[in-house]
Amino acid sequence: MPGRLQGKKVAILITDGFEQVEMTEPRKALQDEGAETVIVSPKDGSVKGWQHTDWGDEFPVDRPLSGARADDFDALLLPGGVMNPDHLRQEAVEFVRDFFQAHKPVAAICHGPWMLAEAGVVEGRRVTSFPSIQTDLKNAGADWVDQEVVTDHGLVTSRKPDDIPAFNRKMVEEFAEGRHDRQRA
């Protein structure tokens, strides 16, 4: 039986320092449901994960950010890790914003929602994140809550690696639904 995401293509936006488990576990959940996952990065060649307090594995970049467009994908996954979104928000804001303008679903975990604040897409939205960035999200106009997973019109957010099972369930559900007409840019 085909998975709920059969025929869907999901961009995974990362660079060096992403929290490895926040990419590998959601990626596996997406692939198990039939999605094609594409690692997009401003970095060429490969990117290196972070495993709690040390460098992790390297993963090949499937598509450079310079050649990626939201139109090429059905959904976007933003893993966390402290370094990852801090570097990405200098280069990938327009790419992220384009998913919201096209009403496509987006999932962000841990520090991943930093990209959403930088892209200006959280105002008036209910979100969660790693607690240390809640002030940034509130200052960007978000209604921040401390919950395992939060869904707001096609946007899925979670706080930390312990939340991955709930995050994966909601991410697959929202990505399967596809475009959300009420998704606000």
Report whether pLDDT(182) > 70: no
Distance, in Å, from the CA atom of 84 to the CA atom of 17, rounded to the nearest integer, reads 5
Determine contact, residues 105/178, Cβ cutoff 8 Å.
yes
pLDDT of residue 121: 97
Predicted TM-score (pTM) of the model is: 0.95
Three-state SS at 56: strand
Instruction: Mean pLDDT check: name the lowest of 22-26, 81-85, 113-117, 176-180.
Output: 176-180
Q: Which of 52, 111, 153, 180 is catalytic?
A: 111
Report whether pLDDT(117) > 80: yes
Has 103 been annotated as catalytic?
no
Does 85 or 68 have the greater pLDDT score? Answer: 68
pLDDT of residue 181: 62
pLDDT digits (tens, 9 = 90+) for 98-115: 999 999 999 999 999 999
pLDDT of residue 127: 98
**Domains located in the chain, CATH noted:** 9-177 (3.40.50.880)
Has 110 been annotated as catalytic?
yes
- The one-letter code for the residue type at 172 is V
Q: What number is the average pLDDT over the span 2-28?
A: 96
Q: Which of 52, 87, 103, 110 is catalytic?
A: 110
pLDDT of residue 52: 84
Report whether pLDDT(180) > 80: no
Report whether pLDDT(184) > 70: no
Angle at 33 between CA 32 and CA 36, to 5 degrees: 85
DSSP result, 116-169: HHHHT--TT-EE---GGGHHHHHHTT-EE---SEEEETTEEEE-SGGGHHHHHH
pLDDT of residue 33: 98
- The one-letter code for the residue type at 165 is P
